[in-house]
Amino acid sequence: MELVIPAPANITTRDRLILAARDLFWSAGYESTTLAEIVKKAEVNSGSLYYFFKTKEELLLAVLDWYMENLFPQLIEPIIAHISDPIERVFALLDGYRKALIATGCTYGCPIGNLTLELGDSLPRAREKLAKNFEGWRQWVHKFLDEAGPRLPKNLDRNEVATFVLTVMEGGVMQSRAQQSLEPFDAGVRQLRTYFYLLTGERPAPVQ
Amino acid sequence: MELVIPAPANITTRDRLILAARDLFWSAGYESTTLAEIVKKAEVNSGSLYYFFKTKEELLLAVLDWYMENLFPQLIEPIIAHISDPIERVFALLDGYRKALIATGCTYGCPIGNLTLELGDSLPRAREKLAKNFEGWRQWVHKFLDEAGPRLPKNLDRNEVATFVLTVMEGGVMQSRAQQSLEPFDAGVRQLRTYFYLLTGERPAPVQ
Amino acid sequence: MELVIPAPANITTRDRLILAARDLFWSAGYESTTLAEIVKKAEVNSGSLYYFFKTKEELLLAVLDWYMENLFPQLIEPIIAHISDPIERVFALLDGYRKALIATGCTYGCPIGNLTLELGDSLPRAREKLAKNFEGWRQWVHKFLDEAGPRLPKNLDRNEVATFVLTVMEGGVMQSRAQQSLEPFDAGVRQLRTYFYLLTGERPAPVQ
Amino acid sequence: MELVIPAPANITTRDRLILAARDLFWSAGYESTTLAEIVKKAEVNSGSLYYFFKTKEELLLAVLDWYMENLFPQLIEPIIAHISDPIERVFALLDGYRKALIATGCTYGCPIGNLTLELGDSLPRAREKLAKNFEGWRQWVHKFLDEAGPRLPKNLDRNEVATFVLTVMEGGVMQSRAQQSLEPFDAGVRQLRTYFYLLTGERPAPVQ
DNA sequence: TATGAATGAGTCTTCATTCAT
DNA sequence: CATGAATGAAGACTCATTCAT
């Protein structure tokens, strides 16, 4: 799955902590994850966490930085490398989330979305970084849509559509998680495809 | 004569607990809310909670039941009463969420969505009720779409579109919360409207 | 020793905590005393402390209240009951501290003085109560000096002398503790007696 | 030409640690001061402290040595240089403490007295050095009183009076700190002056 | 039903100290 | 002499839950 990279051989203690926290925050949420679990998973001594991160919140911030830094190399770059049609690149992003749902039996979701809803505004610095993560995604989708050029209506607000794509992604993952079924996610993607067909007039094949 | 029952002054202890828990779970999440806070807000004695609810989870389940029971009287009925155009009824639901975002300065979100992402599958019975809540919403949207009859393409899967509407609602609220701005939510709704225009052909599509 | 009363038979949990904290704060200081030690000594479960006192500081405040409430019944009243000469009542107070020094091998000191120097202004609410404790002592010494009437010079500032008596008490205890010897304390008391002889002209016997 | 050595710009690491610890132990106490704070204030690397001092206690002992070594050059010598009347030299010492109270807004106190009461007998080697510090002070006061020669009664125990002076100093500082007011300290000094007037008969006693 | 005291495992965090380089 | 990462026991405090009355 795109979201997890196997830990390299001699990774630093700090990075081991970030990766362990990333996985646990993703699967159990921020509040439910204890520092004890993190240091155990990272195979780090309990006090060492404090050496690198002043608080649990600072560790979360580092995790959110990790997501920002790894969006391109882990998710965007492979898509650019393998898919040339810009609109299909957008749907490839969605498909990445679909694969994550499958791999986890529809129990996990988007780490950014999860944390956004769990934390609300209780950790303002985290909220800012979550917004920046969304912004990073949005910019890439926007870029892909720009690359579609005249295939999309001239006066279509590409940035707004990019936001819409993220909306469909997040709302779909949420419902699939609630229902533990791929259906709601797939339904959302199919409707989004239909929308794109109507916008581009490129019928018929629903899947290229 | 008692034509008007005063707003529940002597609401039962059990209900006071449910309403207090509902509000706190909504604003702070399930984990972050302590039973001490709930009993304080409910003005109930600490030990009494356990007479009504065996565990914190049972209280959560009761809250989720409350949401299910109140979907129609609190949200659906007023919309049906005031709006006749079925498609506008759908957008009225979305507008209800918009109003909630405004009222809370974009800090809170959909209580069902929040809990879905916070809890994941850690509380399976809660997850089931969350799915049923989504199902309740979906059925009403589905009903409204059915009422639109031939205005929508014959072979359009109305249930799938209903899911899509919820998707847009949840994904939009999430991004607006992350960015603390109405823009992402409004962007999603505008795109959804465009989609409906294209489907119904009722107005010149706003895009070329 | 006057400062310790044996715990009554069915004393409340709250009081057991206060008395245990009082003794430990006295012997080891505030910072060095752990809540674990307090609950162990009080034979109370660890979480119960929190039920009665929100923080360690609140417990300290309750201890300081205890000292204020018990100054009269534990220390002043017995002196008034047994000694009629008002000036000797003043020296009886000093002698109480002397006995405490003996009983503890000159290792402990005045609990109020200890906490005053240990805490400084780090716990402002505690500092206020410490000042009030000193004030309570000062008022009783003042009262005794007033009762001495014309034996002391008419224009002698009795309140200032009362402060001076406390000064001698505290400064003497401190040096005896540092030297682990009664000598400094006794030296201070003897000089104070000489001062009173010079003020009253009541010679010769240095100890009545 | 280097007639004036600039104030120690390149002070040794060891001394930087001692001075930093001295200040922090004085203002926050021994227990409350962390080694992390000390090395930060001293601008020394965390691990380096242990090259010079095996434990926190050893650092404290070095600080107490510093106080002993600096009593004469920092406090006694300037007084001897500027004041010739031996009894006024005694009161000049007291006035030095008064100035410290003013400079710190009555929040700090005598570093030796503070540590004496905070530590009790928990660190026996420190207690010994504290006693020696008191002894150093006492000897200087004793010397000044000896210099007063026949102005004081022949059979007055000069060493005991010296102890008494320290007693007044420490007891006064303590109460001024508790009350955050110079009054208690000043009251003690005024009474001590009255005592000296009565002993020397050099001026009409201010009290009738 | 209601009360409020009691329970104890668990949370995040702190900190003196060690150690390889 | 200097560095900075590592250690692990212990600290104050939290909280869902229980229970006698």
Mean pLDDT, residues A46-52: 93
Residue C45 within a domain: yes
- pLDDT-derived band at D202 (thresholds 50, 70, 90) equals confident
> Residue B24 is part of which domain span?
8-54
A177/B208 touch (CB, cutoff 8 Å), yes or no: no
Tell me the per-residue pLDDT of C35-83, one tens digit each, with 9 for 90 and over: 999 999 999 999 999 999 999 999 999 999 999 999 999 999 999 999 9
Looking up tokens 């012997």 gives C27
Does residue B156 share a domain with residue B83?
yes
Q: How far is the CA of C56 from the C1' of E3 (A)?
A: 26
Instruction: Look at residue A9 in the predicted model and tell me its pLDDT.
Output: 54
> In the predicted model, is pLDDT for residue C1 greater than 80?
no
Report chain B's mean pLDDT, rounded to a whole number. Answer: 92
Question: For position C16, which CATH number holds?
Answer: 1.10.10.60
Name the minimum distance, in Å, from the CA of A101 to any CA of chain B: 12
Does residue B147 share a domain with residue B74?
yes
Does residue D196 share a domain with residue D175?
yes
- pLDDT-derived band at B11 (thresholds 50, 70, 90) equals confident
Tell me the per-residue pLDDT of B31-55, one tens digit each, with 9 for 90 and over: 999 999 999 999 999 889 999 999 9
B166/A180 touch (CB, cutoff 8 Å), yes or no: no
Instruction: Look at residue A1 in the predicted model and tell me its pLDDT.
Output: 39
> In the predicted model, is pLDDT for residue A162 greater than 80?
yes
Q: Tell if B50 CB is < 7 Å from nucleic strand F.
A: yes
Domain count within chain C: 2
Mean pLDDT, residues D124-145: 97
Instruction: Look at residue B8 in the predicted model and tell me its pLDDT.
Output: 57
User: Structure tokens of D32?
Assistant: 């409350």
Mean pLDDT, residues D118-140: 96
Does residue C170 share a domain with residue C125?
yes
Tell me the per-residue pLDDT of B164-180, one tens digit each, with 9 for 90 and over: 999 999 999 999 999 99
Residue pair B22/B63 in contact by the 8 Å Cβ criterion: yes
Instruction: Look at residue D207 in the predicted model and tell me its pLDDT.
Output: 54
Does residue C29 share a domain with residue C100?
no
Lookup: nucleotide whose C1' is closest to A33 CA: E11
Residue A148 within a domain: yes
Residue A6, CA atoms < 13 Å, CB-side half-sphere: 2
> In the predicted model, is pLDDT for residue A108 greater than 90?
no
Spell out the SS3 assignment of chain A. CCCCCCCCCCCCHHHHHHHHHHHHHHHHCCCCCCHHHHHHHHCCCHHHHHHHCCCHHHHHHHHHHHHHHHHHHHHHHHHHHHCCCHHHHHHHHHHHHHHHHHHCCCCCCCHHHHHHHHHCCCCHHHHHHHHHHHHHHHHHHHHHHHHCHHHCCCCCCHHHHHHHHHHHHHHHHHHHHHHCCCHHHHHHHHHHHHHHHHHHCCCCCCCC
Query: Out of A31-40, B138-147, D199-208, which region has the weakest mean confidence (pLDDT)?
Result: D199-208
Residue B32 within a domain: yes
Residue C206 within a domain: no
Query: Out of A7-16, B106-115, D74-83, which region has the weakest mean confidence (pLDDT)?
Result: A7-16
Q: Tell if A42 CB is < 7 Å from nucleic strand F.
A: no
- pLDDT-derived band at D203 (thresholds 50, 70, 90) equals confident
What is the DSSP code (8-state) at residue C73? I
Does residue A156 share a domain with residue A99?
yes
Task: Note every long-range contact of B141-149, with CB atoms under 8 Å and residues 24 or more positions apart, other chains counting.
Answer: B141/B90, B141/B93, B141/B165, B141/B166, B144/B86, B144/B87, B144/B89, B144/B90, B145/B86, B145/B87, B145/B90, B146/B86, B147/B86, B147/B89, B148/B86, B148/B87, B148/B200
Residue A47 within a domain: yes
For residue D118, which residues of chain C lie inside 8 Å, CB to CB? 29, 114, 117-118
Name the domain boundary from D54, D74, D89: D54
Residue B153 within a domain: yes
Does residue C129 share a domain with residue C158?
yes
Instruction: Look at residue B74 in the predicted model and tell me its pLDDT.
Output: 95
Does residue A49 share a domain with residue A141?
no
Does residue D69 share a domain with residue D163?
yes
Name the domain boundary from D16, D33, D54: D54
Mean pLDDT, residues D24-36: 94
Q: How far is the CA of D48 from the C1' of E19 (A)?
A: 12
Lookup: nucleotide whose C1' is closest to A54 CA: E13
Does residue C92 share a domain with residue C191?
yes
Residue A92 within a domain: yes
Does residue C93 share a domain with residue C17?
no
Q: Which helix (H) or strand (E) holds D92?
A: helix D86-103
> In the predicted model, is pLDDT for residue A4 greater than 70?
no
Question: For position A193, which CATH number holds?
Answer: 1.10.357.10
Rounded Cα–Cα distance for residues C18 and A125 (Å)? 41
Q: Tell if A49 CB is < 7 Å from nucleic strand E.
A: yes
Rounded Cα–Cα distance for residues B78 and B98 (Å)? 16
Does residue C114 share a domain with residue C42?
no
Residue B2 within a domain: no
- pLDDT-derived band at A204 (thresholds 50, 70, 90) equals low
